[in-house]
């Protein structure tokens, strides 16, 4: 099972944990990425995420299928990424992986977040406390990945 959502809807971690229950799996790994208050010495108020949602969901699904081929077809994934403005402390991305054993759940979760950062057409603009903002380097489709 693979569940993917890229939207402005806030990520409900309690709902995610309940939906992912699987008695066949002994391991559940949850990665949550949240907006931090400083980045490269600048005070951040929020991050605005933009995405080509249909393509982002397709890419994330492909990444999950790749993880299943590497660490086991029975792995289950729930991947959520926010769009729109996300304030400091709020979750911007959540990846939940369930597996029979912990090692494959950890490895698959790590693979998904690392590949998401490289391949998903999701861009972010930091909005600073001083009122300035800046698009951050990221996805290769931006033409300025680094």
**pLDDT score recorded for residue 67:** 98
How does the average pLDDT of the chain come out, rounded? 91
**pLDDT score recorded for residue 91:** 97
Report which secondary-structure segment, H or E, holds 115.
helix 102-119
User: 135 is written with which tokens?
Assistant: 């698009």
Contact 16, 93 (CB under 8 A): no
Assign domain 2-130 to its CATH architecture: Alpha-Beta Complex (3.90)
Residues of the chain with pLDDT under 70: 138-146
**pLDDT score recorded for residue 17:** 78
Reported pTM: 0.88
């Amino acid at each position: 099972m693979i569940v993917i959502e890229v939207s402005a809807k806030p990520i409900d971690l309690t709902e995610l944990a309940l939906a992912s229950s699987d008695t066949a799996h002994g391991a559940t790994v949850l990665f949550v990425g949240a907006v931090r208050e400083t980045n490269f010495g600048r005070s951040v108020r929020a991050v605005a995420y933009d995405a080509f949602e249909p393509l982002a969901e397709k890419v994330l699904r492909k990444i999950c299928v790749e993880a299943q081929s590497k660490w086991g077809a029975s792995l289950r994934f729930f991947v959520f990424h926010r769009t729109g403005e996300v304030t400091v402390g709020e979750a911007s991305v959540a990846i939940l992986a369930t597996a029979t054993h912990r090692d494959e759940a950890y490895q698959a979760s790590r693979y998904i977040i690392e590949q998401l950062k490289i391949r998903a057409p999701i861009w972010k603009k930091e909005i600073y406390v001083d009122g300035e903002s800046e698009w951050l380097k990221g996805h290769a489709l931006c033409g300025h990945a680094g």
